[in-house]
Amino acid sequence: MRKVRLLLLCVLMTALSAVSPSGAEATTSSSECGVRMKPAALAAAVTTNVWMAGDSTMANPRTGCPVGWATEFDGQFHSNIVVNNLAVAGRSIQTWLYEGGVTATKNSAGECALNSTTPSVNWQKMLDGMKAGDFLFIQFGINDGDSACPRHVGGARYQQLMTMMAQTAQARGAFPVLVTPVAAIACSGSTATLNRGFYPETFAAGTATGAPVIDLRTLSVDYYNSLHLCPNNGDYTTGPVGQFFCDDHTHFEAYGARRIMRLVTGALRTQNIALAGSLL
């Protein structure tokens, strides 16, 4: 009985320690509880930020469709996880990093020339806020295959930029997670087929940095096949395809976005990525 009373006392002391009448940082100590803690420091220690960099297939919706798969990502974790979804519709990896600094002209290497490497607002927000123990998810490749600037990114440049982002996170003690582009719905008869580029480049960036790679391209195509979304006649407004996708073959309704998200959380578990320990 004494142990129960002591446990309740320790819990009460911990809660009270978070309140300081003067607004100063309070400290709680107890020889019996065996703790000495500063609540503000404790809160900082147990809160992990998950940073999300990507395009419309990942981004929060502005109005209606499309809905990105990361929209409800925060709801999959315990309260110590804070998800910062900074994916932006229409961006390639380079325009996301250097918004406004990418020109409409290609250089001699065939890449869109930069007139500035000043970080975008979202990249700067990550650079300022990322701390040891955080996670950075990176998924691009939907818009990067555009032949025209400013969105065009070649394979070597894509790999270079993804590697740089992962290394930047690692330099801060954070953990990058690389994600291959989620597939559109494309059919060959009754079979959904692999599509989207920058697949080997994503794995190469993972090899270069030791970061885990979630193969969302393959996972999504296998899932489309399990739902028998093929064949279809190109009508993306009705039936199972219309429930899953917006009125195109790429973007997701809320229903589809949630299911793609579950592929990602499932991969966290099957690949034993550390963040899986905080899933509900």
Mean residue pLDDT of the chain comes to: 88
Among the listed residues 71, 111, 109, the one whose alpha carbon sits nearest the alpha carbon of residue 95: 111
Instruction: Find the mean pLDDT for residues 221-231.
Output: 97
In degrees rounded to 5, what are phi and psi of residue 192?
-75, 135
Q: What is the pLDDT of residue 64?
A: 87
d(CA 82, CA 123): 17
CATH code reported for the domain at 48-183+196-218+257-278: 3.40.50.1110
Strand order in the sheet with 81-85: 81-85, 48-54, 135-139, 175-179, 213-214
Q: Which of 2-16, 139-153, 223-237 has the highest mean pLDDT?
A: 139-153
Q: Which of 6-20, 47-61, 191-205 has the lowest mean pLDDT?
A: 6-20
Q: What is the pLDDT of residue 63?
A: 86
Q: What is the pLDDT of residue 167?
A: 98
Tens of pLDDT, residues 62-94: 888 999 999 999 999 999 999 999 999 999 999
Q: What percent of the chain has pLDDT over 70?
A: 84
Q: What is the pLDDT of residue 270?
A: 98
d(CA 57, CA 171): 28
d(CA 10, CA 50): 31
Kindly tell me if the per-residue pLDDT of 15 is higher than 60. no
Q: Which two tokens stand for residue 131?
A: 């701390």
d(CA 83, CA 151): 26
Q: What is the pLDDT of residue 31?
A: 39
Instruction: Find the mean pLDDT for residues 218-244.
Output: 94
Q: Which of 9-23, 116-130, 138-152, 194-208 has the lowest mean pLDDT?
A: 9-23
Domain boundaries, the chain: 48-183+196-218+257-278
pLDDT band at 20 (very low <50, low <70, confident <90, very high): very low
Contact (CB, 8 A) for 118 and 96: no
